[in-house]
A and B are shown apart, each in its own frame.
Chain A
């Protein structure tokens, strides 16, 4: 009854008739706050020098062993680490490598996971069997042992090589999740409708299946960024991560972990940056997901 009244006599009341923009959806605090935080972090990563120098002691390698593990002092807002280096300068300089490792690893792992997971979930059959077993093998592989072997045999350990190794062991979980989500959507009626119309498989996958199944993978990816930054620190702690004189939050955290009862500031400040980064990325992912969902009110 109401249906015809609405559809045939009254036109919808909302003013936007035409392509709707996402712009309005993005101008909300839930998007702006994490976006601004992340923008600041990226700025720090690009220009560490001037920002580290704000308090007058911008060189992360200018250390004074006499002030080892001293707490925050004038000009040294985050205090000193074990070697007596300025923690603030180290955290600022560490942003670049930590952020790069976190984002690069996640993007690489997600790219592999989406390809493998979608292929396995969409086509099934022997391809699914082969890809799923491959995923299982990588999942069963002990991460640290694998990383030790691979990184040990790599000559130079840079942000790129460390990211590659972390991604090598990071994609299987995401691939499994993708496969499950794709399997859930591939039998949906709107996908069948697309197939029956004679659309190409590529179009079905990219326009029908993936948009509806990517949400859980995106959520996992945003969480992964934080995990990866921490993993880098454990690799570095074992001496197979980034090599000194490289600076990263992971290096800071692993150095601090043994002394944090005596000098908690060494742990707290790098950890604070890590937490803020992870929260900003998770928040951004959430806001983007909401903005891209047509069902948002």
Chain B
């Protein structure tokens, strides 16, 4: 340990971060120690509230106002905990750079890519002339494998895709040739195929430039793909530390084991377990087209002639990357997006051409669960009011029975009675989503649309919410349209799968057939891009992809 920390690019020793006054202090990082060697990728993993981001912020000395940091963080020969703000500024961007979760938000929308890069280059080497700065920018863009770097310099962030923006962010972070790159959930906001490309760039960086990377993530697949060593954190403490092979192969801490078990994996469910017999379809969709745009000028086709049906008691997975139109389809069924053409029938009622009253009645048979429960619950309603409102106003349940129904629904979704008069912000993420599911079930829907219901949740919470969801579905027997980007979740839950690509159906079929013997090249690419939480398997896959390219 002693000589490791001498050669270390970053050494964190007994780091503690606390908020609040003495007496009732809340400690968010508690005695954390680890080190990163040269050209090493260390992953800091943990669920929300584990203190992983706060640890990373402490390295740069950017912890929020009111925090107290204790311990030692040595980077570039400087203890950033004891250093002055001015000394820390010398470290930031020069010795340590950081990239963030949402690259589109991290880039300034009113300046061109070239301008923002030149700024970073000039800051690290002020003597360069215009031509040299430009050459350096192009150099950096090439190192992150952006196609047509010359053209990119003139473009603005909104003209680039999310993956390209993240590469630009990485290029900017590399402008000063930092020793350490802190990557805070660098691929969480990206699609899987794009995520795979960005991970490739990060791996190449470590190889070509000997940059060390501190990777902060909750995604075990990403960890397996990239990390040499892993530090598992929970409630501010280090639970376990070891090489990636050790952590994934033989985790010693119970928590690590639980965490790995909770991660959904493709293929865990096996082939047996056929779905329910094809029953009367609850939802029939024929040639649905949804177009956005002005009456004049070009229109954007978000959904292009999509047809499928969902039977009673069936869970249909709708998968695709961002922009594939999966969310739009869900919204069109719920009446939140315009149906340009095509027929959508729910329980025998066509949504496009019936009168307002019948359509409203048909719509009340559809329940929706949105991705982020914090956004989808009325912030000024208590849990009780959230669930009671549709019962009272839409279903017309007599006031005397409302309380009992709410009690029943709360126990159905596994939310304790004591949370009944709490507001959404007082609940944890999983509890909020349970409340949202209870609301969606209040009207006894024949069709439930679940739009990425667990992707905003931690894996262990996700596993439990999915269990609740599966149990409810088999008991209540509603048809379910499960919209997700996570193929492993779809594999664990769904009976049939529709793969969407650019608003069109790429492939449709039985779950096992789609996920294990895909016919469409896009489906295959999608499945291959999902990182597996197993370093050996991930390395094998990488080689086969490299071989296929060569």
Contacts and interface: CB of A to CB of B under 8 A. Distances in A.
A24 interface: no
Contacts of A6: 428, 431
Contact of B380 (A11, A20, A200, A212): A212
A207 to B, nearest CB: 7
B379 A20 contact: no
B414 interface: yes
A189 B363 contact: no
Interface residues on B, range: 35 or more
A7 B431 CA distance: 7
A17 B422 CA distance: 8
Contacts of A196: 334-336, 363, 366, 368
A7 B414 contact: yes
Interface string A188-211: 111011111111100100011001
Contact of B376 (A7, A8, A190, A212): A190
B32 interface: no
Given A2-B428, A3-B428, A11-B416, A207 B378 contact: yes
Contacts of B235: 2
A48 to B, nearest CB: 41
Contacts of A12: 418-419, 422
Contacts of A1: 47, 234, 255, 258, 458, 460-461
B380 A189 contact: no
Contact of A190 (B378, B425, B428): B378
Interface string B362-390: 01101010111001111111000000011
Interface string B246-260: 000000000100100
B61 interface: no
Contacts of A74: none
A3 B433 CA distance: 12
Interface in A1-44: 1-4, 6-8, 11-12, 16-20
Contact of B416 (A7, A20, A211, A294): A7
A106 to B, nearest CB: 24
Contacts of B431: 3, 6-7
Contacts of B47: 1
Interface in B323-362: 331, 334-336, 360-361
B430 A3 contact: yes
A293 to B, nearest CB: 8
Q: Which of A188, A192, A196, A211 has the most CB of B within 10 A?
A: A196
B447 to A, nearest CB: 12
Contacts of A4: 430, 461, 464
A17 B416 CA distance: 12
Interface in B453-489: 458, 460-461, 464
Contacts of B439: 193, 197
Nearest to A193: B376
Contacts of A11: 416-418
Interface in B386-421: 389-390, 393-394, 414-421
A196 B368 CA distance: 8
Contacts of A188: 375
B115 interface: no
B443 interface: yes
A7 B428 CA distance: 9
Nearest to A294: B423
A72 B380 CA distance: 53
Contacts of A207: 378, 380-381
B362 to A, nearest CB: 9
A17 B334 CA distance: 35
Nearest to B451: A189
Given A1-B234, A7-B431, A12-B418, A193 B368 contact: yes
B393 A203 contact: yes
Given A7-B414, A194-B378, A295-B379, A19 B389 contact: no
Nearest to A19: B421
Interface in A163-210: 188-190, 192-200, 203, 207-208
Contacts of B20: none
A17 to B, nearest CB: 6
A287 B377 CA distance: 25
Contacts of B425: 294-295
Contacts of B49: 2
A195 B336 contact: yes
B317 interface: no
Nearest to B366: A196
B429 interface: yes
Nearest to A190: B378
Interface in A137-182: none
A189 to B, nearest CB: 4
Given A189-B372, A196-B335, A207-B378, 18 more contacts: A2-B235, A3-B428, A8-B416, A11-B417, A12-B419, A190-B377, A193-B376, A196-B363, A196-B368, A197-B389, A197-B390, A198-B364, A198-B394, A199-B389, A200-B393, A211-B380, A212-B380, A294-B380
14 contacts: A1-B255, A3-B430, A3-B461, A4-B464, A7-B416, A20-B421, A190-B375, A192-B376, A193-B368, A198-B364, A198-B390, A198-B394, A207-B380, A208-B378
Interface of A: 1-4, 6-8, 11-12, 16-20, 188-190, 192-200, 203, 207-208, 211-212, 294-295
